[in-house]
């Protein structure tokens, strides 16, 4: 089951997994984009959901159970990032980012507990901005830090399931920056460059997805192997200005 399957890494993962023969449930808000993914992946059940709505999360889990019987991989790739300087970050920004990136992921996992296989891989996408703070992404990186701590609590209380934090560095193209203010993005990018936070070459969603599909597929038949932390970043040197 892939939530956030309509774009970026989630989309690329779903397509690669489908082409490898996986049976899929694909979730996102945009049904037209989901239909495209189903066609390219070669099949799958598309479910329009907003993870901020608990009823949608519950309905998604019901579809997962009806379609797959049991879920062996759950990938949470949905996310929201407001580009705002910290002093300009509003209450609404905080609500939107935490309801999507933390509470929504929690509700998806919680709703799927009855249909997870005993050694299921439950993976959530995090960001290198947690360990390497980026200007104008304070609310986003805070939400991802909270998500990472949520995974620690899940591991503590639900041993046996393999809760994996997937930290991802710069990846293009994705929809991540599509709603960013161009002027502020230019200012932020200059700051990121000055602090060595941008690699000379960046990963593609397809390359990241290929690595994850291979990793998860290899771990499916080895339930005693945990996948607590996966870090994917370009091996290139940082850009210098």
Active site residues: 140
CA-to-CA distance for 25 and 75, rounded, in angstroms?
11
Q: How far is CA 147 from the centre of its chain?
A: 11
* C-beta of residue 81 within 8 angstroms of C-beta of residue 141: no
DSSP, res 126: E
CA-to-CA distance for 148 and 145, rounded, in angstroms?
5
DSSP, res 88: G
* Residue (of 135, 205, 200, 196) closest to 168 by Cα position: 205
Under DSSP, is residue 76 helix (H, G, I), strand (E, B) or coil? strand
Helices 138-157, 91-98: inter-axial angle, 10-degree rounding:
40
């Amino acid at each position: 089951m892939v939530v956030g399957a309509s774009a970026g890494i989630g989309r690329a993962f779903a397509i690669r997994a489908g082409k490898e023969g996986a049976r899929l449930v694909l979730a996102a808000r945009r049904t037209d984009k989901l239909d495209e993914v189903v066609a390219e992946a070669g099949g799958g059940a598309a479910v329009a959901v907003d993870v901020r709505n608990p009823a949608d999360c519950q309905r998604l889990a019901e579809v997962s159970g009806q379609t797959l019987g049991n879920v062996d991989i759950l990938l949470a790739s949905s996310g929201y990032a407001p580009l705002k300087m910290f002093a300009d970050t509003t209450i609404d920004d905080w609500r939107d980012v935490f309801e999507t990136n933390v509470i929504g992921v929690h509700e998806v996992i919680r709703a799927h507990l009855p249909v997870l296989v005993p050694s299921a891989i439950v993976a959530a996408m995090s960001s290198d901005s947690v360990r390497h703070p980026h200007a104008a992404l304070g609310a986003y990186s805070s939400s991802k830090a909270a998500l990472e701590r949520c995974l620690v609590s899940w591991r503590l209380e639900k041993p046996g399931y393999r809760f994996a934090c997937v930290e991802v560095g710069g990846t293009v193209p994705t929809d991540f920056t599509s709603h960013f203010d161009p002027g502020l993005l230019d200012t932020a990018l200059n700051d990121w460059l000055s602090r060595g936070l941008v690699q000379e070459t960046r990963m593609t969603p397809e390359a990241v997805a290929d690595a994850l599909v291979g990793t998860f597929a290899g771990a499916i038949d080895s339930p005693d192997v945990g996948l607590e932390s996966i870090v994917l970043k370009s091996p290139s040197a940082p850009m210098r200005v």
